[in-house]
């Protein structure tokens, strides 16, 4: 009976982890592939477009922190399936430990980039649009797009590592 409960707990936590990943990664790609292009169609000008995107991004940002917290906590729990102890993460003694280590490094980099992007570029873009400094806005957006693309690439790499982790060496 104890193993059944543990198995059901594992399934429930894995499901929560996967659902949070779908919300986070799916929402990020939706912003990049749908909201950004559509904003060019329905906004009357660059300033309005930026204000709309800024408001949508701010709303998405409200769920980002809780989702990231859920992903980290459930990820730590799920890592126990592959690691006898936390210290084994740094041992590189097993396939699972090595893949998990790389995944953790990428997750940390992603989280840092997400918050740095929002704190610096997000506010700056909205301010430049409000000031109608379209030349400055274009320059900042170019840099912001590069960082956004890097974030999306990291998300894909993390998802690939999650799949690789399920495959035996």
Interval 6-38: pLDDT, tens: 689 989 999 999 999 999 999 999 999 999 899
- Separation CA 117–CA 14 (nearest Å): 29
- Summarised one tens digit per residue, pLDDT across range 46-68 is 878 888 888 898 899 899 999 99
Phi/psi for 24 (5° steps) reads -70, -55
* CA 77 and chain centroid, separation: 19
Instruction: Kindly tell me if the per-residue pLDDT of 2 is higher than 50.
Output: no
- Integer-rounded Cα radius of gyration of the chain: 19
Q: What is the pLDDT, as a whole number, of residue 6?
A: 65
Instruction: Kindly tell me if the per-residue pLDDT of 118 is higher than 60.
Output: yes
Q: What is the pLDDT, as a whole number, of residue 1?
A: 40
Where do we find the tokens 């000031």? 131
Average pLDDT, the chain: 88
Write down the H helix ranges in the chain. 2-30, 36-42, 46-79, 95-117, 123-130, 134-165
- Separation CA 39–CA 54 (nearest Å): 11
- Summarised one tens digit per residue, pLDDT across range 119-166 is 888 888 888 888 888 889 889 988 999 999 999 999 999 999 999 988
The pTM for the full model equals 0.86
Q: What is the pLDDT, as a whole number, of residue 87?
A: 78
Instruction: Kindly tell me if the per-residue pLDDT of 5 is higher than 60.
Output: no
- Summarised one tens digit per residue, pLDDT across range 87-117 is 777 887 788 888 999 999 999 999 999 999 8
Look at phi and psi of residue 85 and say left if phi exceeds 0, alpha if psi is from -120 to 50, else beta: beta
């Amino acid at each position: 009976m104890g193993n059944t409960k543990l198995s059901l707990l594992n399934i429930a936590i894995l499901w929560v982890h996967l659902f949070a990943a779908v919300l986070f990664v799916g929402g990020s790609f939706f912003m990049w592939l749908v909201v950004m292009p559509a904003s060019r169609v329905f906004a009357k000008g660059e300033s309005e477009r930026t204000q709309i995107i800024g408001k949508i991004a701010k709303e998405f940002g409200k769920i980002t922190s809780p989702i990231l917290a859920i992903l980290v906590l459930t990820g730590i729990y799920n890592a126990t399936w592959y690691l006898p102890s936390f210290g084994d993460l740094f041992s590189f003694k097993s396939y699972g430990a090595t893949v998990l280590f790389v995944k953790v490094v990428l997750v940390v980099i992603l989280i840092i980039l997400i918050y740095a992007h929002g704190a610096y570029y997000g506010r700056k873009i909205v301010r430049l649009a409000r000031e109608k400094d379209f030349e400055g806005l274009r320059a900042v957006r170019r840099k912001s797009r590069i960082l956004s693309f890097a974030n999306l690439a990291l998300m894909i790499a993390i998802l690939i590592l999650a799949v690789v982790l399920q495959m035996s060496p």
